[in-house]
Amino acid sequence: MTRVTIFPLPGVVLYPGLHLPLHIFEPRYRAMVSDALARDRRIGMIQPQRPVEGSSLYTVGCLGRIGDVEALEDGRYNIVLEGESRFRILRELDVTTPFRQVEAELLAERDDEVLAPIERASFEREAKRFADAQGYVVDWDQVGRLDDLSLINGVSQIAPFDPAAKQALLEASGLGARCELLVQLMQFFGRTNDDDEDGATLQ
């Protein structure tokens, strides 16, 4: 178990091994960054269940270490979080700090998982369809050079899905399960956006 300072941000997820740039401007989160820099440089990214102040939190997030940091003259920060490990909240702590803290367990991560060739091919095929439908310009040669873990987690982190869908991806157990869910979500959101200009949410 470990004590984790958390940054609740709807629609934003971080994965182990990936980077997340953040602009920190609210006073309580400027205090959070200052505190983290004075201690172990670690902050837990997690989504609130609703985009309102004090909302309950999802149970799974990702612990990140502050790598690059730019302290601006007016007290704001530009930072880059480097994902280290997913965590599961055990309980929220009663604290006097302006930012929230939890007691959490770190979740073991496998970095040697690979996709079967048919899984990789199915994913890339669906990703191309989705990117074309959304009007994204993608360097597919560069994508093809990524290892499976970087590819699936990277797309999961930046995909334009709703918070509930992004949370489901973060909580998926194993690379194969996350890849399968990602394909299903691209199919779901791609179809729905074709039929409905307002898009859809997966709740």
Q: Give the DSSP per-residue string, 136-175.
A: ----HHHHHTS-HHHHHHHHHHH----HHHHHHHHH-SSH
Taking only the tens of pLDDT, the chain with its 203 residues reads 899 999 999 999 999 999 999 999 999 999 999 999 999 999 999 999 998 888 999 999 999 999 999 999 999 999 999 999 999 999 999 999 999 999 999 998 888 889 999 999 999 999 999 988 888 888 888 888 999 999 999 999 998 899 999 999 999 989 999 999 999 999 988 775 555 544 444 33
pLDDT for the residue 192: 55
pTM for the complete prediction? 0.88
pLDDT for the residue 138: 84
Strand extents, DSSP E, 38-176: 42-46, 60-71, 77-92, 101-106
pLDDT for the residue 193: 56
State whether the Cα torsion 165-167-170-176 is positive or negative: negative
pLDDT for the residue 202: 39
pLDDT for the residue 100: 97
pLDDT for the residue 178: 95
pLDDT for the residue 60: 98
pLDDT for the residue 54: 87
